[in-house]
Structure 1
Amino acid sequence: MTDVFHALADPTRRALLDRLFLEGGLTLSELAEGAPMTRQGVAKHIAILEAANLVTAEWEGRNKRHFLNPVPLTGIVHRWVGKFEDARLDALAEFKARLEDPTDMDKKDTKRHG
C-alpha cells in the first residue's frame, strides 16, 4: 500500500490518473500531449503508477495502451475511509431515530442507566 500512497502523492501522477479515468486506453504519446513535461517524463510517472498497480497496460499491435486500475484505490477507501464512514452512518441513524421518536430513545437510555 506504500507504493500506492507514494504514487498518489504527486500531482502530475494524479492528473495522469484523472486522464485515464476520463479516457482509458491512451498510449504514452497521447498521455504526453499537453503535459507540462517530455514524453520520457510521462513514461517515468506511468512506470511508478504501474508499479503501484494503479495503471495497467495492454499491447495493441505496436501500441501500449494504459488503463486506470481502481482496485488499489478501493482498498484505500475500505481501509481508511470506510471505518470513519461506519461511525458517521451509525451517528446519523441514531440521530434519525431520536428525531422520529425521542421517547423511544429515552426508554433505551433508562434501560442502560437503570
Structure 2
Amino acid sequence: MNEMRSRQQTVRDLYTAYLADRKDLVGAMLTEDFTFSSPRDDHIDRAAYFERCWPKEPVFRAIEIEFLAVEGDEAVVRYRAEKLDGGSFANMESLRFRGDRIASVEVYFGRNL
C-alpha cells in the first residue's frame, strides 16, 4: 500500500513540476532509459522528450488530475489542462514504473474542451 501511495504522489508531483517549469525535478523522477510515446512520438528517449515535449516558455495555467489509479508498476491518469491562451484539453496517460522512477509514459490525446 505504501508503494502505491508513493507512486500516486510521484505522478502528482510530475504534473506539479511540469506546471511549475521544473525540468530538474522531472529529470530526477525518470529512469535513464525513459521512453515517451504519443500519437506524435514513438518511444522517444529522455533527451528527445525534453527537447520536443518540454515547453520552452510556460504554456499551462492549470493541470487538474481527474482520475488516478495505480496497480503494480503502472499508473493511469486522466487530466484536464488549461492553457494560458485560454484553450483547454483532456488527455489520458499510462505511466510505467521501475522501482520508484518512471520508466515510460504513453499519452493518449483526448479532446479540446
Q: Considering fraction of residues, name the structure with more strand.
A: 2
- Higher Rg: 1
Q: Considering fraction of residues, name the structure with more helix.
A: 1
TM exceeds 0.5?
no
> What is the TM-score with the length of structure 2 in the denominator?
0.26
> What is the TM-score with the length of structure 1 in the denominator?
0.25
